[in-house]
Amino acid sequence: MAARWLPIGAIGLSVVLWSFAYVLSGWALETGSAAVLSVCRFALALVVLVPLAARRPAFWRTLRQPRTILLGLTGVTLYYSLANIGLLFTTPGTAALVVSLLPVLTAVAAVAMIRERLSTRTIVGLALATLGVGLVAASGFRVDIGVALNIGALASYAIYTVLLRRDGGHADAPDALSLATATGVWGTILMLPWLGWEMLTGAASVPTDPRGLIAILVLALVVTAPTLVLYNYGAERVPAAVSGVATAAIPALGYGFALLLGETLDPVKALGGAIALVGVVIATLARPQIEPSPPGSALPEPAELAGPTERAAADPEVTPRA
């Protein structure tokens, strides 16, 4: 039974870590460039992940698969490139608020790409999360080119989440560490032309202040490396819409951290954050529903995912082990 909750826990922890990223990235971009931040962030994370993953045969097999290149493009290259460029044109707080769109984008992508059925609980949670982040956004949100770039980044990440869910149930699916590391490798490789362009045009710059350098280290080792593995593990095992709703906690958590750092309390933001968190709880912490997989999605059927007790209830000939 506990194993059924591990994917939810993994996504929850990755969301908590993710909520720190916008402020840290903003610090690094005060004196550094977007491509340098993006590539250094993942290169340093891979210094930790590759030695661990390279011991597993699944890593080398996964690294050669075209699917992994697509995951690296959508979940790393496009997402982090567009998000970091967007931070050059908008504030970290505004960028964090834009994440409120990710649950909706993920749910839409899940329905369109893999015909995922949204449970009533997920729909209610999604509605509350959207309402909550809408209230947060109404208190200090502004639209600019940075917002547009961040929306593009989120759309790419929504597709990435659905791709993880679509292909996560096949028999030879790699373990989370192998897949996350291989995805990070390809995502970083695909960002190198952007870094080369910055260098050729003279726009490349490494943060010159201690806070920016520390921010990159924390982003790489505390945020990026764990989040890659945790989110991949969870997103392969729960409905994509649920993974998306969980991300609605990011603006609320980000605002909570801002309060802890001394920001003045805004009642509207506080109320919106609380409503968003209620929506996340409804959609993710109740018992996950396992439904038949859509044709062609390569996902296991309910009998394959259910525990011995559930299988016995569905099939009288199955005897649960003591």
Residue 36 has a pLDDT of 94
Over the stretch 163-209, which tens digit does the pLDDT of each residue have?
Answer: 887 776 565 678 888 999 999 999 999 999 999 999 999 999 999 89
Residue type at position 80:
Y
pLDDT tens per residue, range 141-156: 556 788 789 889 989 9
Is 60 exceeded by the pLDDT of residue 294? Answer: no
CA 303 to chain CA centroid, nearest Å: 28
Among the listed ranges 60-69, 194-203, 207-216, 257-266, which one has the minimum average pLDDT value? 257-266
Is the pLDDT at 295 greater than 50, yes or no?
A: no
In single-letter form, the type of residue at position 102 comes to: L
Higher pLDDT: 310 or 97? It is 97
Query: How many whole angstroms separate alpha carbon 145 and alpha carbon 125?
Result: 30
Distance CA 104, CA 300 (A): 25
The 10 Å Cβ neighbour count of residue 6 is: 12
Tell me the CA distances in angstroms from 15 to 19, 138, 201, one per residue in order. Answer: 6, 22, 35
Phi first, then psi, for residue 284 (nearest 5°) are: -120, -30
Structure tokens at 63: 């690294």
pTM of the model: 0.71
Between CA 253 and CA 223 the distance in angstroms is 15
**Which amino acid is located at 285 in the chain?**
L
